[in-house]
Structure 1
Amino acid sequence: MDTYTVLLVDDEEEVIQVIMRKINWEGLGFSVIGYANNGVKALEMVEEFQPDVVMTDIKMPYMDGMELANHIKAEYPTTKILFFTGFDEFDYAKEAIHLEAEEYILKPVNSVELINVFTQLKIKLDQEISEKRSVETLQKYYMESLPLLQANFYSSLIEGRIHEEEIPKYLSDYQISFSGPFFCCVVIHTSSSRVPEGANPLLLSTFVQKQAEERLGEKWEAKSLTYLGNTVLITQLKSENEVPELTDECDRFCRYAHRIMGAVVSVGIGQVCRSILELPQSYSSAREAVSYRAIYGAFRAINIKEIAPQEMSKSGEGNDMELANLFKMIRLNPAEDVVEAVDKYLDHISFPDKSLQQHHIDIMELVGALYRFAMNNDIVIKDFTGDVRKLYSSLLDKEPDALKKWLIDISLFFREKLISARSMSTKSFVFRAKEYVHNNYQDEELSLDSICEVLGVSNSYFSTIFKKETGNSFIGYLTDYRMDQASRQLIETNEKSYIIAKNVGYNDPNYFSYVFKRRFGVSPSKYRTEHTEVEK
């Protein structure tokens, strides 16, 4: 039996405690994950826990229940909303209906009524989950995949097999619209090895594709296909600035797929292009982004522009698959995989009947590829700062074992440089965010969205990196910094609390006092009294 999570929201804590005591939640198939006493705190908890049900009062400080419900319905449309309030007003009820609330309950809450409400809600949730999990439904999704002709056309596009003069006829014959003006490939990878017990990997992958089409397809006018075991979406954007928003939506989708079906999903977002003829490059970079799950982990969306700006579109590996594989190992894998890739590459070019001329060409191509890789990734190495012809000549004179040792050493050097560069990049990234907070904490509009807009990255990537480097969320860091500044002003100045609140980015002095007390355990006025008395 499924157990669903409930978040309770009311500014009267005694009301919440009564509800928690009166109801046998476990017996009804629910568990209370926590409670909040205002809409702002509730929204933070919704973002963190994504509860199945939010039961909220309407009239609350800082953010009322209606505004909270609007946020939840916009960002988490599957979450069920229950309103309970002491205000029996038609306008509230009408607005609750507009928000598609499950129920509108009047205070004082009657336990029998509440049990009936949650009993019916459990039946509805079970039915919805059952429909999604139904094998018959998954098979139907699979049979209703995009028509074969369209799928073939999309796969030909990302393979680069469509010529420009052929496109108008294909679009007309297959009734396809590509309005753009910008395009971006999204690669959705569903793990076939990490699946829920008893689940069919193929049906699970089909479920993920269908859900991606439903949750991402309409807004981004996406064309969907299955390609090399992954789901590929060809999305259409109005501007390049929409990419962070696309990344965040894909990130939420990864968590949604795991919560509903236990699927382990990673999403790669490729580079943006202005023409569908450039989709092969976008697809290639999206697929590379997915491979970075080895570094950043699954259950998330990875934007190639955010994590590897120097590594996309400038491959320089030529057509040699073994050399391309070596560079991939250098970027993503442990040292032993790099050594193995060197062995495979050297075996590939060392066939018995190879002429001396062919050996010279192979060495020349290797030097050129390594040089381009170093330049494209801003790696400075002494072997390439002098006369490259001397390096080329010295390699021609090396015995096979010596050549192998040299290639292993330089490959491992490249790997360490890339690891170091990524680490420095994230630290610089976090430093810029902290510096921006220090210079703009007085701005009440400063938020996660605004700092991501300034930095030009998605919320999901920024939040992951910031918490990894600081151990705190961005909002937590901003709040702590504001409270530290407020505490200093309380001690060092005679300004009124409401002035200090405004100085640190709070227009509502009551909310400022609430946050301050949550941080320091006492009100601003008491904090000032205690600390000024100590100084005296």
Structure 2
Amino acid sequence: MYKVIIVDDEAVVRVGLKNTIAWNDHGFELIGDYANGREAWEVVEQHKPELVISDISMPFMDGLELAGLISAQYPYIKLIILTGFDEFEYAQQAIRLKVSDFILKPITAKEIRGLLDRVKGEMDEETKHREDLGRLNSQLSQSLPLLKERFLERLVAVGLGRAEIAERFAYFGLKPVAPLHLVMVVDIDDFGDRELHSYEHDAEFLRFAAFDIFKETLEYEQGESMFFRTREEKMVAILSGCENEGMLNERAFSLAERVRYHIEKYLKFTVTIGIGSAVEHLEQLPTSYKSALSVLDYRFLLGKNRILSILDLEGKPSFVSPNLDWDRKLASAIRSGSLQEAFELIENGVVELKTSFTSVEPCFLQLQKVVLTLMNTVQELIVDDKETSLEWQMRLMEIYRFKTLDEVELWLKDIVRSVVTTVADNRNHFTNMQIHRAVEYIRTNYMNEKMSLQDLCRHVLMSTSYFSLLFKQHTGETFIEYLTGVRIGKAKELLHHTSLKFYEIAEQVGYKDPNYFSILFKKHAGATPKDYREKLLKENGA
């Protein structure tokens, strides 16, 4: 309901309007009727109705004077003027005072009802518009911190012109800052011993806690600074107002050390901080930001929990590509199963990368070369197990998640240890299978007097020297000793269970010469074939 008052010095008009109009049906609540503008103004100040219907000609204060006061102090109140004077001068004044309508008397109840409906429609639209604007303003107020962060991120990442910087500073209520300027970037190394893989909200809480320490440190400091979080969850500070570069860098290092120390002490995890170059103008901030990010990359070589400044790196010699062939040597060590040699190669390779002081890109190129060589080695050594080979190749792709060479070193050692163990297990399994095939071949073909070591090695696809070594390790006997043992064993069975003659038994177990068979039998059984059979017969009571 909108509140409305009637102002007219003619009582009959007021009574007629009150009694002939069902005000509530048209969305209005009539809160009073008054004989002059002075009385009406007091009510307007006290109750602030949304609509005033007023005559022009009244004692003490006429309708136009009342309209002037309302227009000046309550411009949102709508005013309808009723008058019996059809004069252009009145109409002109009413327009200047932004009167909603100027109606000539007499007016019918139907006309008043139509007028009220039209005015209510206008008021509903205005109310809706005001509510929308209020909602937008509320949303804008809530979004201002984020909008400010995005502006500061654009300022350092892309760069803005002087005019736009000044305009945005005024919009966000940022005070103008004096040169010199410098960008400092803080990046969380990891969350220490906390297990956050399944609890992303915990990680977000810790990021917020770190930013809170970062913000408090900067707010406590007396110098000029602005700070924000990037969309990549890095914390960035813009430091300004120092007279020379040395003072600005000293201030930046002091702030950085306090941030690093307090995060490690209170949150139990570490950050690495990059300090960029000093610039004269705010438009040049991208230069400082890029240098801070580039120096932050050297965490990969130098390790975590550090403060790295572009000034420290500018004095370093230009990168010279290290002469590294440890990928080839590492593959050779894996093939030979020499774990100690592989570990030494990894350690020496990492040391050489560190001392070469290369940037991250060429360093990763070298590591990619190592990973590709390891992939090929795994594929070569685990040829019969495609699933295992693919699993190892997927594990080798994890190299891109590490932030330091020290982490890569530990990961490489773990990978190599696992590969060597897997290859050794595969080799043992393969060797066992080959020796088993060799034993089966001997037991199946022992009667062939021409069986040789070469025949057996061709069957199992191994060299004679390597097979002889493995066969002795697995059986405790040489090939000839094992073959002779099988043949003598079969001869004993034939002597026990058949009545074959001795020369027939000799031939069936692979010996053409019965005398040679007899000598070998006595050597292994402790008796001649004849004595052995007689002994068995006696024992069986025959």
User: TM-score w.r.t. structure 2 length?
Assistant: 0.37
* Greater radius of gyration (CA): 2
